[in-house]
A and B are shown apart, each in its own frame.
Chain A
Amino acid sequence: DQQVKQNSPSLSVQEGRISILNCDYTNSMFDYFLWYKKYPAEGPTFLISISSIKDKNEDGRFTVFLNKSAKHLSLHIVPSQPGDSAVYFCAAWEFNYGQNFVFGPGTRLSVLP
């Protein structure tokens, strides 16, 4: 049973518009959430994170929102750029689980020029 879900395998957005990538989780003990971006044949790179005690974290064009009661987080990219086209993985971390992360299956974002 997947603890971290990304129900949209793919998403297409026009350049300049907002991209919203969603992630749902089932384990209420998760303490920390991260978003990674991955280009084909490369390793994921860290994008942005949020602690479970916060509901929003912003870094430039990227904002992550956390709704703990709904066990839902989302990544907003504004404005979207063609270089943002990649697979985005949501990951969750639980303190009592050591330093191990649970990754979602990923959402492929395509930003169309």
Chain B
Amino acid sequence: DGGITQSPKYLFRKEGQNVTLSCEQNLNHDAMYWYRQDPGQGLRLIYYSQIVNDFQKGDIAEGYSVSREKKESFPLTVTSAQKNPTAFYLCASSRPGQNEQFFGPGTRLTVL
């Protein structure tokens, strides 16, 4: 079945450690996105990539990094520079010209 997978579903890290969240899609979508959800704030865009080997900062990119070496994969690294990393992280993808984004199940990151 086609879809977007994010792993793991729950992730715990100690403060000061970098952590990488996985996002894989087999929908053959060119564009991929990372969002962060905090209570009462909806979804905020962290990074997006319209094509392989290219990505752009979203509204809240500070403290995060991404790579897009393959069309299917768009991993997000939460670095120690991110001041408030505990959140629910959502990955999404879409086809060019398509107005709908498809979301993965999300990863809840808790930094202790």
Contacts and interface: CB of A to CB of B under 8 A. Distances in A.
B58 interface: yes
A98 B31 CA distance: 10
Nearest to B41: A105
In this complex, which of A34, A103, A104 has the most chain B Cβ atoms within 10 angstroms of its Cβ?
Answer: A103
A67 interface: no
Given A99-B94, A100-B58, A45 B42 contact: no
Interface in B83-101: 88, 90-92, 94, 96, 99-101
B102 A46 contact: yes
Interface stretch (A36-44, A55-63, A72-80): A36-44
Interface residues of A, number: 24
B42 A106 contact: yes
Which applies to chain B's interface (DSSP): helix, strand, loop or mixed? strand
Interface residues of B, number: 30
Contact of B106 (A42, A49, A98, A106): A42
Interface of A: 4, 6, 9, 32, 34, 36, 41-46, 49, 89, 91, 93, 98-101, 103-106
Given A32-B99, A46-B102, 17 more contacts: A34-B100, A41-B106, A43-B105, A91-B43, A93-B99, A99-B48, A99-B50, A99-B94, A100-B48, A100-B58, A101-B101, A103-B35, A103-B43, A104-B42, A105-B40, A105-B41, A106-B40
